[in-house]
Amino acid sequence: MVRLSRALGMPLTPKAKRYFERRPYGPGEHGRARRRSESDYAVRLKEKQRLRAQYAIREAQLVKTFQEARRMEGQTGDNLVELLEMRLDALVLRAGFGRTMFQARQAVTHRHILVDGKIVDRPSYKVRPGQTVQVKPTSQVKDPFVVAARGSHRDVLPPVPDYLKVDLEKLRFTLERKPKREEVPIQCEVQLVVEHYSR
């Protein structure tokens, strides 16, 4: 993950951030060399890879989400980010229940997460506005969630966005409304991603 972070020019995990601060250049023996100007295709491809890496999803998943975003009303790029951000694993991370996207996803796949009182073990599950998500009561005593409830992940995560109402001590949150692109804490020129898939 550290190597991928340096290749994409952005830290993807707290560990990668520490390495990135020490070596803010690409991996490999030519990492410090002056890079040739990239083609338009390479720029758009890299931006797509950056978006995919931040949500830690497969190419097929991003393509499927893009196609859904294109069918919706409004700006395709904004729709794309909205759909990605309403994934259960992404919201579990934003709420502070995990330190990284991988930890948030593991919480979901290991059946620790309830949506409106029912276990959901699909990270790609689309949370709807008004739904309440919480850590299963029997799981709240497990070490990773005890740590999360103390707010220990706040030092590495961005502030909780306004579209979430979080009760961290009770390991519970509600999606108040759909996210807006400018509120979502990702680094991405989304229009370049749209252009990549629209070529």
The structure's pTM equals 0.83
C-alpha separations of 86 from 18, 45, 144 in Å:
28, 24, 23
pLDDT at 26: 61
What letter would DSSP give residue 72?
A: S
Q: Residue 90's closest CA among 116, 66, 130, 54?
A: 54
Lookup result for tokens 């497969």? 58
pLDDT at 7: 64
Query: Which residue segments constitute the domains of the chain, with CATH numbers given?
Result: 1-36 (no CATH), 41-198 (3.10.290.10)
pLDDT at 77: 96
pLDDT at 154: 85
pLDDT at 156: 85
Cβ atoms 13, 5 nearer than 8 A: yes
Cβ atoms 188, 182 nearer than 8 A: no
pLDDT tens track of the chain, all 199 residues?
A: 556 665 666 666 665 555 555 655 565 665 566 556 778 999 999 999 999 999 999 999 999 999 999 999 999 999 999 999 999 999 999 999 999 999 999 999 999 999 999 999 999 999 999 999 999 999 999 999 999 999 998 888 999 999 999 999 999 999 999 999 999 999 999 999 999 999 8
Helix (H, G, I), strand (E, B), or coil: what is residue 9? coil
pLDDT at 176: 97
